[in-house]
Amino acid sequence: MHRLAIYDLDRTITAVPTWTPFLLHAAWTRAPWRLAFAPVVIGAMLTYRAGLIERRTLKQLMHRLLVGTLSPDDTAAVAQSFADSFARHIRPGARAQIAADRAAGYRIVIASAAHRFYAGRIAAALEIDDVIATEAEVDAEGRVTYRIAGTNCYGPDKLAMIEAWMAREGLARADAHVRFYSDHATDEPSFTWADEAIAVNPHARLRVLAEARGWPIVDWR
């Protein structure tokens, strides 16, 4: 029996989201003039909240305005500097639970809507090798673009990507015991699919759902 402990990243392992902070970090350290687009980005976020554009469109627009296209070297440098600066936002409870799951023989996995090129750096700092995340499209010259390759690792698509990862790793669902940790109700498909669902510092809708389903609720501060 394989043991998997699958963790969401934003607001689960980290106390705050990573996407907007990453974009602002990249803009500030690489091209501060891009911060002039901040009002446009805020307008796009409000448009998304109004339900007028989808999440994928919002993420691509934000990336295009605040970061643009990155060479492989620039991608590596800005992702690492962001991960280093973001270490202070890792929840102490997340560190403790990851250590406990690892000691109990669980394979630790991060499954996140964050882009892999920086989520992987945060994972590496936590000694986590397995990362399922949103992939950025890479152009013919090897540069990371603002476009998302494939699907955004979010909601039902996150579960589909977890299942695809398990298939690639040769892990049959029937032969695995899965713990799933997240802070948000959009991960309901993954919560329901897992053997153990743990709500971490849940927002209001997930708290109601967790109480109704009998899922443990934990506070990692």
Per the listing, tokens 């955004």 go with 152
**Count of the separate structural domains present in the chain:** 1
Report how far residue 61's alpha carbon sits from residue 29's, in angstroms, rounded to the nearest whole number: 19
Give Cβ neighbours of residue 108 (< 8 Å, ≥ 6 apart). Answer: 5, 7, 98, 101, 102, 126, 128, 130
Q: pTM of the prediction?
A: 0.96
Mean per-residue pLDDT pooled into runs of 10, the chain (221 residues):
97 97 96 96 96 96 97 96 96 98 98 97 97 97 96 97 98 97 98 98 97 97 86
Four-residue CA torsion sign, 149, 80, 27, 85: positive
Q: Are strands 144-149 and 130-138 parallel, antiparallel or unpaired?
A: antiparallel
Question: Domain range spanning residue 121?
Answer: 2-218
Question: What's the pLDDT score for residue 221?
Answer: 86
Strands (E), 12-169: 107-115, 130-138, 144-149
CATH of the domain at 29: 3.40.50.1000
